[in-house]
Amino acid sequence: MCGILGIYGFDNVGSELIHGLSSLQHRGQDAAGALVFDEAFKIKKGLGLVNQVFTDKHVEYLQGHAGIGHVRYATQGSMNLINAQPFYVNYPFGIAMAHNGNVTNFNELKKTLHDDYHRLIETSNDLELILYTLAAELEKKDLLKISHHEIFDAVATTQQKVQGSYSVISVVANHGFLVFRDPHGLRPLVMGKRETSKGTVYAFASETTCFDYLGYETVRDLLPGETVFIDAKTRQVHCRVTAKVTKPAFCVFEYIYFAREDSLFNEKLVATEREIMGHKLARHFKEKNLKPDIVIDIPSSSYFFAAGLAEELKVPYRRALSKNNHVGRSFICPTHDERERVVRQKLNPIRDIIKDKKIAVVDDSIVRGTTSKHLVQLLRERGAKEVYFVSASPPITHPCVYGVDMSIKQELLASNNSIEEIKNYIGADEMIYQSLEDLMEIYKDQPCCFACFSGNYPTGVSLENLEQIEKERVCSKKT
């Protein structure tokens, strides 16, 4: 999962692009990059956070009226600088691109591009495959007379060839601004605008919170399989669903964990969605006749789950874990040792709040169990009488192949253990999971992807592809 931002304006967008990427930092902390276009592409990329990669001199350098930016959380390819986005090619026209997602037919595409189009794949980042596939399709057109119709046709063929999840933002030099989503709409992409004295400035981003920071009006989510092209000459906005959409499947993990609580997807506020999930969790407490003294959350993505649970159970909510905000998100740390180090540094229980209490402690999910086990131990050390550990998501039993770092089955705690075994492993008195049935009931009117809970992959991933993705991920973690 990564964060992407694109701005198509009239004046220099570099500074705004970098500030906007900071609001998406929670989506990726491995690398950051920005590219602008005026008469040529200018690019800056680096490993680390946005404020580590960009300085004042880079803001001065990144002068252009169109730009795309990216914050990376590595799920495909190693964490080397060569894999940092955006990417660009100089022919045809010059195409620059950034994306959020994961291509699942990586090897097949790589072979096709090599054998049929003589393209040398230089990185292990799947964006390169999308970029070269689109470039190859555009090369088949009459480049002197190309219009948005031909560009839509090239995107449509690209969407047929590229399997998996992807939201793409690109600049086609001297021709326009191009964005598109995969046919299932797995990864988010929203459109915003701002009116200026020179005309409308358009922006596209992974989350609406980015528009709030930059002062843009949210227009709408792009549809699954939709392409938007803004013509450089006429400034007209052309929209078309270029892919055959048979099974929309927005990633439900965006609501559960990845997105910020102040973002909206499909007109649903993430904070409200998490509160609804919290209310659903109360059923399991009533069935087990569990009566906690207080409900606490694991900062910072779990507050609204805990608030909803506490309200439904009619017990007090308390903030009992003090968070060090200068430590990153443990879930997106690349190795087990780093995740353990981050957990130790990140949270400190407040003794006077938890001592002698029966505590329901709510987390958004349990993937590997590193955080959960450590926190239960900390709470007991600080005097908790009983600890009921609560996961706002169902058990994660299957690898995610669409861009969330859950692609190695042996690392998934619930894939290899029963709920009772998980309870014993983390040392809790009770273990409560959200039920998949309740989660699906919440989204009965919005088709979502629940593959990491059910194993039902909307793109029909084969066992061979699953094994290859897991093998690639294991190798990339070693580099």
Domain boundaries, the chain: 3-249, 273-447
Q: Which of 2, 210, 400, 452 is flagged as catalytic?
A: 2
Q: Residue 323: is its pLDDT beyond 90?
A: no
Look up 400 and say whether it is catalytic: no
Q: Are strands 358-363 and 294-297 parallel, antiparallel or unpaired?
A: parallel
Cα dihedral value 191, 239, 158, 105, nearest 10: 40
Q: Determine the average pLDDT of the residues in 434-457.
A: 96
Give pLDDT, residue 292: 98
d(CA 161, CA 300): 39
pLDDT computed for residue 5 by the predictor:
98
- The mean of the pLDDT values for the chain is 93
Task: Say which residues have a Cβ less than 8 Å from residue 39's Cβ, sequence separation at least 6.
Answer: none
Overall average pLDDT of the 378-404 stretch? 95
User: pLDDT tens digits, residue range 227-286?
Assistant: 999 999 999 999 999 999 988 999 999 999 999 999 999 999 999 999 999 999 999 999
**CA of residue 333 relative to chain centroid, distance:** 14
Tell me the torsion sign for CA atoms 307, 313, 314, 319. Answer: negative
Classified by CATH at the fold level, domain 3-249 comes out as: Glutamine Phosphoribosylpyrophosphate, subunit 1, domain 1 (3.60.20)
pLDDT tens-digit map of 82-99: 999 999 999 999 999 999
* CATH class given for the domain over 273-447: alpha beta
